[in-house]
Amino acid sequence: MLTIALPKGRVLEELIPLFAKGGYSFPSEWFTSSRKLVFTLPEQGFTLFLAKPMDVPTYVEYGVADLGIVGKDVLLEAAREVYELLDLRISPCRLAVAGKPGAEPALYPRVATKYPRIAERYFKERGQQVEVIFLNGSVELAPLTGLAERIVDIVSTGKTLRENGLVELERITEVTARLIANQVSYRLKREAIQTLAERLGKAVEGEVSA
């Protein structure tokens, strides 16, 4: 039996059709119209549970889940000891630095973000001194209110930036969802994990499993 930690929210919606393509179908209403967090599927050999995206790497590092699915942004931010097995190529977006257009860069700017670790590392690598301010969401509000000059956040369509009069200034990295594994599970349950990874890999490539 494999235990898989799935992220609630956006990624989950795209995961259900990907799993179906890989030959693992489960009714999406299970996830959408219920408050249940754990689903056991004896026929498929899975237990699935639903966690907050940022918590998925924690469940996987501690071995409570053998596998997890999570955005690369979360993986970089969480910095947990897990193996990254597969790029699922779903939920594409990017991490970027954004701000008001044409603003003079301050010597020691404040940067608001849900991703403090990624932001610290990015500016440190560039030798830029910044003060990173952690926010839980609606990060675009920070430059509008004067809390920070810059933000580090996810950009997908660019609509949120546009509608708030902000512009993308620097691109940090491209982001897609990844399959991750607990390091011990990867050795002890190698066959089951590889079967799942191969099937999902084929689904990513557009080859539908029977």
Ligand X SMILES: Nc1ncnc2c1ncn2[C@@H]1O[C@H](COP(=O)(O)OP(=O)(O)OP(=O)(O)O)[C@@H](O)[C@H]1O
Give the integer Cα–Cα distance in Å for 80 and 63: 12
**Cβ of residue 188: shortest distance to ligand PRP, in angstroms?**
35
48's tokens: 């699935």
Interface stretch with ligand X, choices 5-13, 23-31, 124-132, 188-196 (CB under 6 A): 5-13
Give me the residue whose beta carbon is nearest to ligand PRP. 137
Q: Of 52, 124, 162, 171, which one interacts with ligand X (CB under 6 A)? A: 52
133: which strand partners? 112
Q: Of 25, 32, 128, 156, which one interacts with ligand PRP (CB under 6 A)? A: 156
Strands (E), the chain: 2-7, 38-41, 46-51, 67-71, 83-87, 93-99, 110-113, 131-134, 150-155, 167-175, 177-181
Q: Using the rule CB under 6 A, is 156 a contact of ligand X? A: yes
Interface stretch with ligand PRP, choices 54-62, 64-72, 101-109, 132-140 (CB under 6 A): 132-140
- At 99, is the secondary structure helix, strand, or coil? strand
Q: Using the rule CB under 6 A, is 73 a contact of ligand X? A: yes
Q: Of 41, 154, 167, 169, which one interacts with ligand PRP (CB under 6 A)? A: 154
Q: Using the rule CB under 6 A, is 138 a contact of ligand PRP? A: yes
Residues 6+ positions from 141 with CB-CB distance below 8 Å: 147, 164
Q: Using the rule CB under 6 A, is 155 a contact of ligand PRP? A: yes
Give the integer Cα–Cα distance in Å for 131 and 48: 39
**How many helices (H) and strands (E) in the chain?**
9, 11
Q: Using the rule CB under 6 A, is 68 a contact of ligand X? A: no
In the complex with ligand X, the residue whose CB is nearer, 9 or 45, is 9
| Interface positions with ligand PRP (CB under 6 A) | 137-140, 153-160
